[in-house]
Structure 1
Amino acid sequence: MPDATYPPLDALKPVADDVWIVDSGPLRVLGMPLPVRMTVIRLRDGGILLHSPTRYDPDLHADIETMGPIRHLVAPNIAHWTFLQAWQQHCPQALTWAAPNLGKRRPVRRSGLRIDRVLGDAAPPEWAADLAQIVVPGGLGFREVAFFHGASRTLVLTDLVLNLEPAKLGPILGPVLRLAGMTAPAGRPPPYLRLVIKLRRREAARAAARLVALAPRQVIFAHGAWFERDAARTLRTSLGWLGDLGPEAAREGAPA
């Protein structure tokens, strides 16, 4: 079976000034090996934000701390939270921020995960000078909070794009996921998540249009080959299942 991940694993990889990724995994989802990725951002005040933390690794922790203190742990949607508690244990000074509705999930309540703050559509004072954020809604309580690092024009998503590489998935799984639209060069979320998001399609399309309008230089997400070049065009293609993502869609329904 080919390696679905992006070695080296659990190690910092630079993307832009003050932005790094950490590739990890694979996770097993319905028997499928799924690569997973964390984004690390150094804020203007010197503090470090971990977006969608991957599995805890002491050497990785030490490497991150050489760049600044870890002050923020971010669970950006209602699915990406399972590794947070280990990071909380080793970074007791860090605040944990969660997407709307994450704390209502029964597995989260049973786990005893500590949630300090709930993310909204406006960036909090802790990182407003560095990051903008947009909440993409869906049905059944789904929310994903997207982040835009203005200085590097880096857009950070989680599950809104799934861009798996067929060559990393093998001769059976690769074609199946290609048919599902989840593969490179401009992959989409799995069909069930597309259905969930389409339950609030107009609002989700408006949020997606705002993401496209940011014209990011690169787009990072949790699973698969992130968009290193031609990112704005590829993002528009990847999110096209939501419909028109032009300027009019971004403005539709906005407050006067």
Structure 2
Amino acid sequence: MRDQPPKVRAALLGIGLAELAVVSASSAHPRRGPGQGFGPLGRLLDPDSRWAENTSYPPLDTPKPVAEGVFIVDSQLPGTVGMVIGARMTVLRLPDGGLLLHSPTRFSHALKRQLEDIGPIRHLVAPNIAHWLFLRDWQAACPEATTWAAPGLRQRRQVRRAGLRLDHDLTGTAPAEWGGAIELVVVPGGLGFHETALFHQPSRSLLLTDIVMNLEEPKVPPLLRPLLRLFGMTAPDGMPPPYLRAVVRMRQQDALRAAEHLLTLQPERVIFAHGRWFERNGTSALRRSLRWLLRG
């Protein structure tokens, strides 16, 4: 691996992780009869799936307050070969009372009603090239909301094929419509990867998506735990998967400057999409989780 260029290393690691996930999720005995497939959606909805229940942080699909004007919604999404992974949306109440939905998770009318009890839904944010899959449902339910996308997302073939509406691209400056309460930091990478971090200044909360992943071992299948531990992806100071680290390192200096900027913000808490988020001592926890990118 050391002799391969970064793009090849990233591809090999991604393929290897996918194959290991297939092995860990496979069984010699079907859990359902013919015609009763146990694909991603079936796994997600199946009440007998122990891992489907255990991958996230209940109560699911309901807003939970974490600071003044900051709420999280823990949910799930289909993963590889029928597996389910936990996912998290963060909701910010802006100075005008409107809500910003960061990395929207699966839609339900019940969740929409709960959010509207907090404030009108005015902004939908897709912060990187992966976290956009549920946007269409939210757009249909909230037609007046504006959609903001990470740089490069609209160029993705899957996004163009889906016909997803993206109103504006995010830059290094927060939109005026957000009321001056948020600072943006774009973390770049190779292969068109960008992740836009949001820093909510009133609560000193930093919102990330995938550049930190802090998986708790009881919430992943046992056969995957040694692999995740080996790759440094487990709590208490987990890192993103090796292929994503390799992609970000393709723009090492730019990504390093962005990471150092995130630390200078000194967040009190760091909220991200997968795993146990950092409820306290956010700056020191973030520094440990970014050790793969920081100098020294």
Which category describes the TM-score, using the shorter chain as reference length? over 0.9
- Secondary structure of the residue that 1:193 maps to in structure 2? helix
Q: Does structure 1 retain, via aligned residues, the 8 Å contact 2:268–2:281? A: yes
Residue number in structure 2 paired with 1:62: 113
Residue number in structure 2 paired with 1:25: 76
Q: TM-score, normalised by structure 2?
A: 0.81
- Secondary structure of the residue that 1:45 maps to in structure 2? coil
Q: Does structure 2 retain, via aligned residues, the 8 Å contact 1:36–1:223? A: yes
Q: Does structure 2 retain, via aligned residues, the 8 Å contact 1:163–1:185? A: yes
Alpha-carbon deviation of 1:30?
5.8
Q: TM-score, normalised by structure 1?
A: 0.93
Give unmatched runs, 5+ long, in structure 2.
Answer: 1-49
Q: Name the CA distance, whole Å, in 2 between partners of 1:215 and 1:29.
A: 35
Q: Name the CA distance, whole Å, in 2 between partners of 1:134 and 1:16.
A: 21
Residue number in structure 1 paired with 2:221: 170
Q: Name the CA distance, whole Å, in 2 between partners of 1:30 and 1:136.
A: 30
Residue in structure 2 matching 1:121, options 147, 163, 172? 172
Q: Name the CA distance, whole Å, in 1 between partners of 2:243 and 2:219.
A: 22
Residue number in structure 1 paired with 2:60: 9
Residue in structure 2 matching 1:108, options 155, 159, 169? 159
More helix by share: 2
Alpha-carbon deviation of 1:132?
0.4
Q: Name the CA distance, whole Å, in 2 between partners of 1:179 and 1:143.
A: 26
Amino acid aligned to 1:164: L
Q: Does structure 1 retain, via aligned residues, the 8 Å contact 2:259–2:294? A: no
1:75-154 aligned at under 5 Å gives the runs 75-154=126-205
Q: Name the CA distance, whole Å, in 2 between partners of 1:32 and 1:192.
A: 20
Q: Name the CA distance, whole Å, in 2 between partners of 1:101 and 1:144.
A: 10
Amino acid aligned to 1:156: L
* Identity between Structure 1 and Structure 2 (%): 58
More strand by share: 1
Q: Name the CA distance, whole Å, in 2 between partners of 1:243 and 1:134.
A: 16
Q: Deviations over 1:102-137 (max 9, x none)?
A: 000011001010000000011110115110010000
> Hey, which bits of structure 1, 4+ residues long, moved more than 3 A?
29-33
Q: Name the CA distance, whole Å, in 2 between partners of 1:177 and 1:105.
A: 28
Q: Does structure 1 residue 204 correspond to structure 2 residue 255?
A: yes
Q: Deviations over 1:172-224 (max 9, x none)?
A: 21221111111101111111100000000110010000001111110000000
Larger Rg computed on CA atoms: 2
Q: Does structure 1 retain, via aligned residues, the 8 Å contact 2:260–2:294? A: no
Greater Cα offset, 68-77 or 28-37: 28-37
- Secondary structure of the residue that 2:178 maps to in structure 1? coil
Q: Name the CA distance, whole Å, in 2 between partners of 1:169 and 1:67.
A: 33
Give unmatched runs, 5+ long, in structure 1.
Answer: 246-256
Residue number in structure 1 paired with 2:279: 228
- Secondary structure of the residue that 2:288 maps to in structure 1? helix
Q: Does structure 2 retain, via aligned residues, the 8 Å contact 1:166–1:175? A: no
Residue number in structure 1 paired with 2:292: 241
Residue number in structure 1 paired with 2:265: 214
